[in-house]
A and B are shown apart, each in its own frame.
Chain A
Amino acid sequence: MAKLIKSKLNWEGTTFERMSVVGDEEPAAWPAGEQLNYVGKSYPRVDGFQRVTGLAKYTFDIQLPGMLYARVLRSPYPHARVKQIDVSKAQEFPGVRSVISSLNDGDVFSNVLQFAGDEVAALAADNDDIAEDAINLIKVEYEILPFNTDTEPHPVSGKPQDNQTVAPLDDHPRIYRRGNIQKGFQEADVIVEETFRTQFALHNSLETHGAVASWKGDELTVWESTQSIYNVQRYVAEYFKLPLNKIRVICEYMGGGFGSKQSSGKWSLMAALLARETGRPVQLMLTREEENLATGHRAPTVQKLKLGAKNDGTLTAIDLVATVNVGANGSGARAVGGSCQSMYKCPNVQTEVHSVLTNTGPHGSFRAPGYVEGAFPLESLMDELAKRLKIDPMDIRMKNYALTDPTTGQNYSAKHLDKCYQRGAELIGWSHRLSINDKSPVLRHGYGIASQTWGGGGGPPAFAWVRLNSDGTAEVNPGSQDIGTGVKTVFAQIAAEELGLEPDKIIVHIGDTAQGPFGPGSGGSMTLASVGPAVRQAAIDARKQLYEVISGYFEVPADQIQIRKGHVYVLGEKKPRISLQNTLRQLGEFTIIGRGARGANRDGIAVPTFGAQFAEVEVNTITGEVKVQRLVAVHDVGRIMNPVVAKGQVAGAVIQGVGYALTEERIIDRSTGIVLNPNLEDYFLPTSLDIPAIDSNFIDESDIDANILGAKGIGEPPIIPTAPAIANAIAQAIGVRFLSLPITRAKIVEALQTTGIAGGVYP
């Protein structure tokens, strides 16, 4: 039975209430500490075979009979008006089948181009090479307009400069207040203040953004590399004014997203328009360069942060004024103040976040958006405070430990961050930081710590179906997609647990709007905690129906039937009656459909995730090279459903955090507005030679008040503390506090030339 409720949801650091359709009463969570049969074990990926044989079909791999290949012409200028456009030469080029531009579609193609890389026109041709040859035959006359790519705010106020365009948010600037910061700073024995800067960072998912579109009459099928097939469905349906049931969106395998594929984009519209014009399927996959220009970035920020504290380390005030460069669109920068608001117990907090529009590619969600940017200043300055007060950096964090949610005063469903600190300190050997004995002046060592909080508790709406076949196999339709995190495998484990079947008897169908129920986008570390409970519900529903059927066969009441590991047991009997398969053989053909829906979140409690990371670094004071030798991560995300998969998420996030800390930065030339490194040669992603030994750990205590799995998300939390933990370790190693990311070799060498090992601050 479906019903409508209001449910609170914490989405990427912001809590709000919304209407949701939920299902029947949910069962209780699996008891904490209970050993389960399949959940909690390290099962290999259910689709491992497809992934290691090259058989897994990604959007990039879809090839349909007669399919055309599309290319996009993009603006060479950061801000320009299209005065005239002549597509005739491209149109006449042999093999070109259709050209679209603002001449035929003013919705997809604007005449005013907002960044270097904005869409000007697109065409479809018989093959990739022809499309590439022809795209530059489109002649465009541009009127070049003034532009701005800077994040820098007013030097004194820390607020946007007069010439900066402020993002048109409803609540701009976004201000959060609790207590009274003036009073808080008056009460402080010590005040520390610095201005921090973070950089443009890019997702650079290995599969670029893109889509394949194919029409049959007025029915459209879109394959898209997306984190949300249902977002794409709605976006395309609204554009073409078609009902949802005429748009099918498929994403079976997906080559990385990290937030950038959370929202839909023009590639699907361009592919569908070209396909409609030509009557043939069209593939439009972006090139690596386009991926670096036009598909989203982690916003650069300038953050002026001031902390006040008592001599014993107790925080009395936190004041943050942040300016966020949201590029050519104004959404999604709200969470930069999140860490300052919710990480520590502090009675007086104010965060003021200004978003500025610039002529750079659009801002997009990137793994823990806002919190990654915001954790760097907060966790860096906490260390400076500790240094001033001669307190151990871990002790100052424990001193300000929040036992209830500082933003709402609500109790936490569970919080074991104290255990994260303790275990992490043991594993890294935190006490060694006091006895570092660098014999060489060249190689210097240091240890650093940082903490993290984030959402990940999930919530409705999310749905799932479980289909039982008459041979004792099951098929799970969770309506979601697997962006590479491994939820597909975990869904199989959840269904196995409730159905009493081995996971290899279960197939999970994902990523197809025509096959399953609605599923939420894969973002906010929410998929497991939102969709997983629905899968569990659906499996229980299917099992109940099966027990009814089997009870008729054995002529015992349904509540006395149990299926364990593929055998049918009657309660009170030690031996199984018969194997499930043999039972089913007697029953003829049938299909049982179990349905599940995510229930409401409980009122009055906060359901965040927590974690602490410890870094050990070696800094070469001559070359500026930083080797992260070890990184210990301890995270508190409730029950661990599949340890090997969960550890993979931690290691992956930490490695992206290492890149963010030390090497990754999209560089835009201020005088031309052009991206100078739109490729993997000059945008420095971590390679196999750059990564530390990573020790991933979990507290692994079920959070039974979070949801009926007791599990929360792990995709994003571990990227949050990595960069500040490394920055803090570098500060200990060479005595320099770096206020900007990435901490490149050049910055280290320059800082040491200025300050020597005496220490100081480097902007």
Chain B
Amino acid sequence: MTSTPTKIQFKDNVHGPDKVPITLNVNGSFYTLEIEPRRTLLDALRFDLNMTGSKKVCGMGECGACTVLLDGKAVYSCLTLAIECEGHKILTIEGLSQGQNLDPIQKSFIDEEASQCGFCTSGQIMSIKALLDNNPDPTPEEIRRAMSGNICRCGAYLNIFKAATKAAADYRKQRPAKKNGNKNGEID
């Protein structure tokens, strides 16, 4: 699917933060919003699209609770302007599961007790998603490094590592199925 970026027209001599129309591709659906250019992707998701799974913790790119995937790459949505995301694919925690069917990362988070209060969980899961999509068989050290931008104040790190390891194995089992055209194996 490709999106047709809306042309952003700035009015002359306007210093104020006027709203502009933009179209975002979030979890495979297109949403047209009227937002100010300064709106972050995180605020657009939370306030304008009511997708509150991505959390605002620091608003400054220090904690990772707002992590989403932009064209498959993990980004801090609090440091990304929504208008920069036109024409790009955004994947959020809301797009990872299909109804009752959880992604293997989500399943392994439950099985391995990888969240306590759960506030960092969406961001943790999205960081692991980005890691595993690019590196199907990460070493423990690679997992630690990949997760180092996601703070968990409850300290569930060890279980998060276990969940990532288990999910990686589950992904590897699934991915050959994708090559055979099994739609269920598709994870993006």
Task: Note all chain A residues with C-beta closer than 8 A to B106.
Answer: 52-53
**A residues less than 8 Å from B53 (CB atoms):** 53-55
The verdict on B6 contacting chain A, using a C-beta distance below 8 Å, is no
Partner of B156, one of A258, A648, A681: A648
**Alpha-carbon distance between A44 and B144 when the two chains are bound, in angstroms:** 24
* Contact A679 B58, CB 8 Å, known A52-B102, A483-B117: yes
Task: Give Cα A543–Cα B102 distance, bound, in whole angstroms.
Answer: 35
User: In chain B between 65 and 100, which residues have their CB closer than 8 angstroms to a CB of chain A?
Assistant: 65, 92-94, 96-97
When chains A and B are docked, how far (Å) is the Cα of A606 from the Cα of B110? 37
A202-210, A310-318, A351-359, A698-706: which one contacts chain B? Answer: A202-210
Interface string of B39-65 (1 = CB under 8 A from A): 100010011001111111111101101
Please pick, from B47, B62, B65, B117, the residue contacting A127 in the complex, using a CB distance under 8 A. Answer: B47
8 Å CB interface, B125-153 against A? 125, 144-145, 147-148, 150-153
Query: Are B115 and A256 closer than 8 Å at their CB atoms?
Result: no
How close is A699's CB to chain B, nearest CB, in angstroms? Answer: 21
B104 shortest CB reach to chain A, Å: 11
Which residue in B107, B109, B113, B157 is a CB contact (below 8 Å) of A691? B157
Q: Is B160 interfacial (CB 8 A cutoff)?
A: yes
CB distance from A251 to the nearest CB of B (A): 12
Does A57 count as interface, using CB distance less than 8 angstroms? Answer: yes
Report the bound CA distance from A654 to B94 in whole Å. 32
Please determine whether B58 and A129 come into contact, CB atoms closer than 8 angstroms.
Answer: no
Secondary structure dominating the interface of B: loop
Bound-complex Cα distance A254 to B118 (A): 8
For residue A650, which residue of chain B has the nearest CB? Answer: B155
In chain A between 650 and 687, which residues have their CB closer than 8 angstroms to a CB of chain B? 651-656, 679-681, 685-687
List which A544-564 residues lie within 8 A (CB) of chain B. Answer: none
Residues of B within 8 A of A687 (CB): 148, 151
Of B55, B59, B151, B159, which is within 8 A of A287 by CB? B59
Indicate if the CB atoms of A681 and B144 lie closer than 8 Å: no
Residue of B nearest to A691 (CB): B157
Q: Do A206 and B43 touch across chains, with their CB atoms under 8 A apart?
A: no
B151 and A685 contact, CB distance less than 8 A: yes
Given the known interface contacts A254-B117, A648-B156, A653-B155, the answer about A681 and B93 at a Cβ–Cβ threshold of 8 Å is: no
Closest to B105 in A: A52
Please determine whether B158 and A651 come into contact, CB atoms closer than 8 angstroms.
yes
- A44 and B111 in contact, given A54-B92, A253-B118 (Cβ under 8 angstroms): yes
- Whether B120 is near chain A, meaning CB under 8 Å from some CB there, is yes
Interchain CA distance A673-B113 in the complex, whole Å: 41
A49 at interface by CB-CB < 8 Å: yes
A53: chain B residues within 8 A (beta carbon): 53, 93-94, 96-97, 102, 106
A655 touches B119 (CB 8 A): no
B122 contacts the other chain (CB 8 A): yes
**A205 and B153 within 8 A (CB):** yes
B125 / chain A contacts, CB cutoff of 8 Å: 52
- A206 touching B63 in the complex, CB below 8 Å, given contacts A60-B55, A127-B47: yes
Question: Is A128 at the interface (CB under 8 A from chain B)?
Answer: yes
A residues within 8 A CB of B165? Answer: none
- Residues from chain B with a CB closer than 8 A to the CB of A51 are 109-110, 115, 118, 121
Which residue of the partner chain, among B36, B110, B157, contacts A688 with CB atoms under 8 Å? B157
Give the docked Cα–Cα distance between A688 and B62 (Å).
14
Check A652 against B154 for contact (C-beta < 8 Å): yes
A582 proximal to B (CB < 8 A)? no
Query: Contact string, A393-428, partner B, CB cutoff 8 A, digits 1/0?
Result: 000000000000000000000000000000000000
Alpha-carbon distance between A654 and B50 when the two chains are bound, in angstroms = 36
Cβ-defined contact, B51 with A689, below 8 A = no
A595 → chain B closest CB, angstroms? 30
In the bound complex, do residue B17 and residue A484 qualify as a contact, i.e. CB atoms below 8 Å apart?
no
Of the candidates A56, A129, A208, A689, the one whose C-beta lies within 8 Å of that of B118 is A56
Q: Among the listed A60, A129, A486, A689, which residue makes an inter-chain contact with B17, where contact means beta carbons less than 8 Å apart?
A: A129
B116 at the interface (CB under 8 A from A): yes
Give every chain B residue within 8 A of A654 (Cβ-Cβ). Answer: 155
- Residues of B near A681 (CB, < 8 A) are 60, 62
Which of A45, A128, A255, A484 meets B110, CB within 8 Å? A45
Contact B120 A206 (CB under 8 A): yes
Do A206 and B111 touch across chains, with their CB atoms under 8 A apart? no
Residue contact B117 to A207, C-beta cutoff 8 Å: yes
Say yes or no: is B173 at the interface (Cβ < 8 Å to chain A): no
Partner of A651, one of B43, B62, B107, B156: B156
Residue B38 CB within 8 A of the other chain = yes
Given contacts A60-B55, A127-B47, A680-B58, contact A686 B115 (CB under 8 A): no
* Mask: chain A, 479-513; 1 = CB below 8 Å from B; 0 = not: 00001111000000000000000000000000000
Fill in one digit per residue for A22-55: 1 if any B CB lies within 8 Å of its CB, else 0.
Answer: 0000000000000000000010110011011111
Q: How far is the CB of B119 from chain A (nearest CB, A)?
A: 3
Q: In the complex the two chains form, what is the Cα distance from A253 to B115 in whole Å?
A: 13
State the CA gap A218–B50 with chains docked (Å). Answer: 29
Choose among A127, A128, A258, A652 the residue with the greatest number of B CB atoms under 10 Å from its CB.
A652
Q: Which residue of B lies closest to A47 (CB)?
A: B118
- Could you say which residues of chain A place their CB within 8 Å of the CB of B109? 48, 51-52
Contact of A679 with B60 in the complex, beta carbons under 8 Å: yes
B115→A52 contact, CB < 8 A: yes
Verify A486–B116 contact, CB threshold 8 A.
yes
- Expressed in whole angstroms, the minimum distance between the Cβ of B109 and any Cβ of chain A is 5
How many Å lie between the Cα of A222 and that of B24 in the bound state?
33
> Once the chains bind, are A288 and B57 in contact (CB under 8 Å)?
yes
B157–A52 CB distance below 8 A: no
Sampled A-B contacts (11; CB under 8 Å): A52-B107, A54-B52, A60-B52, A127-B47, A203-B153, A206-B55, A255-B118, A652-B154, A652-B155, A688-B148, A693-B158
6 shortest interchain CB distances as A-B pairs: A54-B53, A484-B117, A255-B119, A655-B155, A652-B155, A48-B110
